[in-house]
Amino acid sequence: MKNSLRLISFLIFSVFVFQSCSDDDNSSDVPDDVRVQNFVWKGLNLYYLWQADVPDLADDRFANQTQLNEYLASYSDPVELFNHLRVAPTIDRFSAIFSDYTILEGIISGTTKNNGVDYQLLLKTTGGTEVFGWVRYILPNSDASTKNIQRGAIFYGINGTPLTTANYQSLLANETYTLNLADYNNGNITPNGQSVTLTKSEYSENPVLITSVINSGSHKIGYLVYNGFYTGYESQLNAAVGQLKSQNITDLVLDLRYNSGGSVATATRLASMITGQYDGQLFAKEQWNAKAQAYFEENNPNDLKNNFTNKIGNGAAINNLNMSTVYVLTTKSTASASELVINGLEPYINVIQIGDLTTGKNVGSITLYDSEDFGKSGRSNKHKYAMQPIVLKIANKDGFADYLSGLRPDTRQVENLGNLGILGNENEPLLATAITQITGTARPIPQTQTKVFDHFKDSKSINNLQDQMYLDHVPNGLKNILNGF
């Protein structure tokens, strides 16, 4: 009799535990063949900035998990589902999905398969399909650094095939390829019969390319070329700013012309290094989709704020310059976190922008994994998919966030293929313009551009996520408002 009672009690307990687990973890209700699709739909339903504008992401679109499963089964390819659930590309230009999260993680940390040539691709004619490239800079200790190629080199083809808008991705994706070089003659791209063969290897880019001080009269002008907001290199950035501070600079030129973005936190810390006098004050405020915004405002409104700080990510004290003016060099490749620094500093100090109109990326993303809370911990071991969807807009202290068409320079000056100059040299045209404005002294006028070509792509935008602005972690608690199935 006692054994029978124990068996009955065990069965009742088992049913209770099973039911509780089923209520808490619905993964058992999701067939393996739509597991990735389920992750895609639920992640976008919860986080996607334009969730309210996608009918198939509506909170009431499915009554239960069974209905959702039936819908997901119609998409055998998770990428196809992901793209279907996005708004028009004219609105969402940046959301991405990867079948291998290690590739995604490498890109956003600055680690890629790279031969060392950072380049821009331009259209030969407006609206045309022919493309050519030019080298913006060479990464140190890369394959290209050992070859006869440098800033300003022009290439029109790969392996003897001329570049076009249709073939550039496949040609440049090869691990080893030969660049067919050309001369620039008064706006004409003329093949010169020369070439250079390059091979990619895994490369981690230190985004601090140049740190120097230029003495001009009574001015000690700090110059910093910074090419990516990578959290793993904050110590190097802080050290570079410390180097400028130790030399008692009077002015700062921040060169972001080839910086396509990165971490929101690192951008906030760079702004804090430039200033220092606004510690704890609001630098930028996030704007999420309606239901996420409501959750944050009710439960933890401080999660929406990015404040000036006195520490970098590892806890080390920030080297700050206490600048009241900063000169920022920009191009059409200046994007996302770079634009955030410009826009976020505008209400506080005088930001003088020299160069070209920026990209116009006023939105940010997060990395979502297939885990209970979409964070990295506990992610599925059945696949390696991860998403990088756009989840927020970000505004400055004054609430301004609408720069989709780019931030307009105070002095427009497009880089001239006929006179590019050497980065860091005080006669390099964009830097020379900044020095002239700082010192008020006459300098040689940069050579007039003989022809302005339309920007097409660059080496960072081709890698997709290197032109992202992103949060470093999934916000706490937001999983609580996910649909109950």
Q: In degrees rounded to 5, what are phi and psi of residue 69? A: -60, -40
User: What's the pLDDT score for residue 12?
Assistant: 39
**Distance separating alpha carbons of residues 307 and 374, to the nearest angstrom:** 25
pLDDT tens digits along 158-186? 999 999 999 999 999 999 999 999 999 98
Three-state secondary structure along the chain? Answer: CHHHHHHHHHHHHHHHHHHHHHHHCHHHHCCHHHHHHHHHHHHHHHHCCCHHHCHHHCCCCCCCHHHHHHHHCCCCCHHHHHHHCCCCCCCCCCCEEECCHHHHHHHHHCEEEECCEEEEEEECCCCCCEEEEEEEEECCCCCHHHCCCCCCCEEEEECCEECECCCHHHHHCCCEEEEEEEEEECCEEEEEEEEEEEECEEEECCCEEEEEEEEECCEEEEEEEECCECHHHHHHHHHHHHHHHHCCCCEEEEECCCCCCEEHHHHHHHHHHHCCCCCCCEEEEEECCHHHHHHHHHHCHHHHEEECCCECCCCCECCCCCCCEEEEEECCCCCCHHHHHHHHHCCCCEEEEEECCCCCCCEEECCEECCCCCCCCCCCCCCCCEEECEEEEEEECCCCCCCCCCCCCCEECCCCCCCCCCCCCCCCHHHHHHHHHHHCCCCCCCCCCCCCCEEEEEHHHHCCHHHCEECCCCCCCHHHHCCCC
Q: In degrees rounded to 5, what are phi and psi of residue 180? A: -90, 120
pLDDT tens digits along 109-118? 888 899 999 9
67 to 32, 44, 64, 241: CA distances (angstroms):
16, 17, 6, 56
Whether residue 449 has pLDDT greater than 80: no
**Distance separating alpha carbons of residues 387 and 103, to the nearest angstrom:** 12
Task: Using pLDDT thresholds of 50, 70 and 90, give the confidence band for residue 444.
Answer: low
Structure tokens at 175: 């691990």
User: What's the pLDDT score for residue 480?
Assistant: 74
User: What's the pLDDT score for residue 451?
Assistant: 84
CB atoms within 10 A of CB 478: 20
Which candidate, 81, 84, 86, places its Cα nearest to that of 51? 86
Structure tokens at 183: 């001369």
CB atoms within 10 A of CB 285: 19
pLDDT tens digits along 11-69? 333 444 334 333 334 456 899 999 999 999 999 999 999 999 999 999 999 999 999 99
Which candidate, 158, 222, 161, 220, places its Cα nearest to that of 195? 158
Which candidate, 175, 171, 174, places its Cα nearest to that of 161? 171
Range in 308-322, 364-378, 462-476 with the lowest mean pLDDT: 462-476
CB 366 within 8 A of CB 390: no
pTM: 0.91
pLDDT over 90, % of the chain: 83
81, amino acid identity: L
Domain-wise residue ranges, the chain: 111-203, 206-362+392-449
Instruction: Assign domain 206-362+392-449 to a CATH class.
Output: alpha beta
Per-residue b/e over 154-172, b at no fewer than 16 CB within 10 Å? bbbbbeeeebeeeebeebb
Whether residue 292 has pLDDT greater than 50: yes
pLDDT over 70, % of the chain: 91
Whether residue 204 has pLDDT greater than 50: yes
Q: In degrees rounded to 5, what are phi and psi of residue 80? A: -60, -45
204, amino acid identity: S
CB 313 within 8 A of CB 234: yes
Q: What's the mean pLDDT when you consider all of the chain? A: 91
CB 337 within 8 A of CB 261: yes
Which candidate, 332, 421, 414, places its Cα nearest to that of 150? 421
Structure tokens at 389: 């969807």
343, amino acid identity: N
User: What's the pLDDT score for residue 473?
Assistant: 81
User: What's the pLDDT score for residue 137?
Assistant: 98
CB 229 within 8 A of CB 335: no
| CATH T-level fold of 111-203 | Pdz3 Domain (2.30.42)
Angle (deg, nearest 10), helices 264-274 and 234-246: 10
**In terms of DSSP bridges, do strands 390-396 and 282-287 run parallel, antiparallel, or are they unpaired?**
antiparallel
User: What's the pLDDT score for residue 466?
Assistant: 59
405, amino acid identity: S
Scan for tokens 């910086």, then name that residue: 259
CB 359 within 8 A of CB 335: yes
Positive/negative CA dihedral, 209, 212, 216, 217? positive
**In terms of DSSP bridges, do strands 219-226 and 208-216 run parallel, antiparallel, or are they unpaired?**
antiparallel
29, amino acid identity: D
